[in-house]
Each structure stands twice: as structure tokens, then as C-alpha cells.
């Protein structure tokens, strides 16, 4: 599963983003989404706040992060069995998360409309564990299915900053569009 490869890559990234952060910016209101990333080859676009940096992450179609808030945005797509629904895809990802993330807790999972398609929205937390570091992380992740591909759009940050970033994360996920 591409999901596994991507999250293994996140081990190094979380260390980079979170290990040096001692004071987090307090973002009580949603950040304005001033930038849009478009992948014409795959066929999607997504908007994100000014100041977020584009990076490369193995297995991800797009990865953006913000050092100031220790937040990130990841877009992933993976081939799934023919006829899989968004709910089935979300269930499969949820099983993988539960089996592979330390201290995984699913806070909620609800039906959601992503890019005009039926989907699911999950909020969960886990503990990122690296060398001599343990960081509580909270994630908002939306899923849908397009053709025979599962699409996941996720935003995460350290747990103590999630409430401050939640409105921005919801805006980012809602901005995801498939190109015609």
C-alpha cells in the first residue's frame, strides 16, 4: 500500500518539522488560502496558505508544510480494487493506521463530500516516535474514490495546535478539486 511507504517517509519529516519547534504560533482564525497547486497530469488542484513550503515526499502527489505552525498537507492517490467505495477505502486505510501508528485513536469518521464525490472524513491522533523524540500528532484526512484510485487529502499538526489549525485544515480539504 502506498500509504505505508508515505507514512514511513514521514518519520524523517516529522523529526524535521517538530523537533526544533518549542513555541507554536497561535492561529485562532483560519488562514487565508492564497496559493493553489495544480497537477495537470494527475488532474487535481488544491489551495493552501501563503508561507507554506512545497516539498517532496515519497508516495505523495503533493506535500506542503509550514514550519511556523508545524502543519502539513499531503495528497495521495493509490490504486484500489475495482468497485471499492470511498467508505471501503476509508475502512482499509483506518485498519492500516490502527495497525501501524503508535497510540492511534480515531476521534471521528463521518460521510463527507470531497471534490463533488462521496467520501469520508476522519480525524485521528497518534504519537510520532523517532530517535529520542515522541510527538503527539492530530490529523484530519478526507477520502474519495476516482476511477480505480483511492484519494486521500490529509492535514496534520502537533496535537496541541490542532484546534487552532482546524478551520484552516477544513478550508484546505474543501479546496481540493478534480480537473475536468
Q: What is the pLDDT of residues 24-55, one digit of tens each?
A: 444 446 789 999 999 999 999 999 999 999 99
Q: Of 23-27, 89-93, 169-173, where does mean pLDDT reach its minimum?
A: 23-27
Reply yes or no on whether the pLDDT at 159 is more than 60. Answer: yes
pTM for this prediction = 0.86
Ordered by start, the domain boundaries in the chain are 1-19+62-160
In CATH, what number does 1-19+62-160 get?
3.40.1000.10
| Contact between residue 169 and residue 141 where contact means Cβ atoms under 8 Å apart | no
For residue 114 the three cell numbers come to 470531497
Q: Give the three-state DSSP class for 139.
A: strand
pLDDT of residue 17: 47
pLDDT of residue 52: 97
| Residue 108 backbone phi and psi in degrees, to 5 | -165, 155
Amino acid at each position: 500500500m502506498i500509504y505505508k511507504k508515505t507514512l514511513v517517509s514521514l518519520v524523517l519529516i516529522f523529526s524535521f518539522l517538530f523537533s526544533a519547534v518549542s513555541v507554536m504560533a497561535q492561529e485562532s482564525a483560519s488562514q487565508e488560502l492564497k496559493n493553489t497547486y495544480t497537477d495537470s497530469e494527475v488532474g487535481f488542484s488544491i489551495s493552501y496558505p501563503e508561507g507554506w513550503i512545497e516539498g517532496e515526499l515519497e508516495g505523495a502527489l503533493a506535500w506542503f508544510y509550514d514550519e511556523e505552525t508545524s502543519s502539513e498537507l499531503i495528497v495521495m492517490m493509490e490504486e484500489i480494487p475495482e468497485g471499492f467505495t470511498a467508505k471501503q477505502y476509508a475502512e482499509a486505510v483506518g485498519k492500516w493506521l490502527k495497525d501501524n501508528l503508535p497510540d492511534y485513536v480515531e476521534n471521528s469518521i463521518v460521510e463527507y463530500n470531497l471534490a463533488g464525490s462521496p467520501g469520508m472524513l476522519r480525524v485521528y491522533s497518534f504519537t510520532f516516535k523517532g530517535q529520542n523524540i515522541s510527538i503527539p500528532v492530530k490529523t484530519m484526512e478526507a477520502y474519495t474514490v476516482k476511477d480505480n484510485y483511492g484519494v486521500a487529502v490529509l492535514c496534520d499538526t502537533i496535537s496541541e495546535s490542532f484546534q487552532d489549525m482546524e478551520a484552516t485544515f477544513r478550508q484546505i480539504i474543501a479546496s481540493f478539486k478534480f480537473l475536468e
